């Protein structure tokens, strides 16, 4: 996207990046901050939705990476209107920044700032202890704005004096999301296969589930399920649509993953 300069602000989770975001953005002349799905200007949310408002970790990660189409397109449209501008993208690694910029159609970062450049080792360790002990996260906006769409608990407020006219620019809100970002989360194809078998087997008109094939992609899954149908319960096309609908709802709800496609194969018939 021409006219939008990108700065990356990176560091491991829980090291105090969001707490220092406004100060770093000011020092670098960044107009906007992108942090966990939000676009922030002078302490106010101007676009986007916070990943910390999601109720499970998978959806939170996808929200932070702008993998939801409506969210992504809304932020893209906003940045196109806002250019020329400078955007500071906050994330845990350069790889994650690249995924965010790719999804938003932005150029690669022209400048990289690491948490170690702006915080001492003691400050970083203190931030990590706070995250580990209390599960608290910082959102660099005022508590009034966070309260509107946050699913977890608002714990407190911080105020940093920046010597600026904006009343909200130095304010940060401390929150405790309904999940934690600790460790890795892997959803194995076997788990999705088990969900699919359970849901399909409990569908009226299905005598038996004969097999399930699951293919995993970066942010989605594709399924092929073979069943033995009971003749006379309902039309096979109707049965296929019913199974597909139930599987889509169950898998997206339990895992937070997108469903690329669901193929239903009626392989055998039970005439009873």
pLDDT of the residue at 221: 86
The pLDDT value given to residue 269:
96
CATH of region 4-176:
3.40.50
Dump pLDDT digits (tens) for 58-78. Answer: 788 888 999 899 999 999 999
Within this chain, domains 4-176 and 189-270 share the same CATH topology: no
Structure tokens at 252: 């997206």
Question: And the tokens for 228?
Answer: 């033995």
Q: What does the block give as tokens for 133?
A: 């002990």
pLDDT of residue 134: 55
Closest CA to 201 of 189, 210, 191: 210
Q: What are phi and psi of 94, to 5 degrees?
A: -65, -35
The C-alpha atoms of residue 206 and residue 122 are separated, in whole angstroms, by 61
CA dist 258 and 178 (Å) reads: 21
Distance of CA 260 to the CA centre of its chain: 18
Query: What is this structure's pTM?
Result: 0.59
Q: Where are the extended beta strands (E) located within 2-139? A: 4-10, 32-35, 38-41, 44-48, 85-91, 111-114, 137-139
> What does the alpha-carbon distance between residue 72 and residue 66 come to, in Å, rounded to a whole number?
5
Calculate the alpha carbon distances from 109 to 13, 34, 92, 234 in Å.
Answer: 20, 13, 14, 56
CB 135 within 8 A of CB 176: yes
18-62, pLDDT tens digit by residue?
778 888 999 999 999 999 899 988 878 899 988 877 777 778 888
* SS3 of residue 49 by DSSP: coil
* 239 contacts 266 by C-beta, under 8 angstroms: yes
**Residue keyed to tokens 């006379």:** 232
As assigned by CATH, the class of the 189-270 domain is: alpha beta
Query: Would you say 66 and 72 are in contact if contact means Cβ atoms under 8 Å apart?
Result: yes
Q: For residue 162, what pLDDT is reported?
A: 44
Name the stretches of the chain with pLDDT < 70.
131-185, 218-219
DSSP 106: P
205 token code pair: 């008109």
Residues 6+ apart with CB under 8 A from 249: none
CA 116 – CA 153 distance, rounded (Å): 29
How do beta strands 258-270 and 220-230 pair?
A: parallel
What's the rounded Cα separation, in Å, for the pair 229 and 187?
A: 29
Answer whether 241's CB lies under 8 Å from 200's CB.
no
* Domain residue spans of the chain: 4-176, 189-270
CA-closest candidate to residue 270, choices 219, 234, 215, 228: 228
């Amino acid at each position: 996207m021409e006219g939008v300069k990108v700065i990356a602000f990176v560091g491991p989770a829980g090291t105090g990046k969001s707490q220092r975001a406004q100060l770093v953005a000011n020092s670098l002349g960044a107009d906007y901050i992108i942090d966990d799905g939000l676009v922030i200007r002078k302490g106010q949310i101007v676009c986007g939705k916070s990943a910390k408002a999601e109720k499970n970790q998978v959806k939170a990660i996808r929200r932070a990476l702008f993998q939801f189409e409506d969210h992504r397109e809304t932020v893209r449209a906003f940045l196109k209107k806002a250019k020329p501008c400078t955007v500071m993208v906050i994330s845990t690694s350069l790889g994650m920044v690249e995924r965010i910029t790719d999804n938003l159609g932005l150029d690669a970062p022209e400048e990289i700032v690491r948490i170690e450049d702006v915080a001492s080792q003691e400050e970083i360790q203190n931030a990590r202890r706070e995250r580990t002990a209390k599960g608290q996260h910082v959102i660099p906006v005022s508590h009034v704005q966070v309260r509107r769409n946050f699913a977890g608990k608002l714990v407190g407020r911080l105020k940093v004096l920046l010597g600026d006219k904006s009343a909200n620019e130095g304010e940060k809100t401390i929150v405790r999301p309904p999940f934690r970002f600790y460790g890795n989360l892997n959803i194995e194809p076997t788990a999705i296969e088990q969900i699919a078998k359970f849901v399909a087997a409990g569908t009226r008109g299905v005598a038996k589930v004969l097999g399930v094939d699951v293919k995993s992609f970066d942010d989605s899954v594709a399924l092929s399920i073979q069943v033995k149908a009971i003749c006379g319960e309902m039309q096979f096309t109707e049965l296929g649509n019913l199974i597909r609908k139930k599987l889509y709802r169950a898998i997206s709800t339990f895992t937070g993953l997108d469903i690329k496609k669901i193929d239903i194969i009626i392989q055998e018939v039970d005439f009873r």
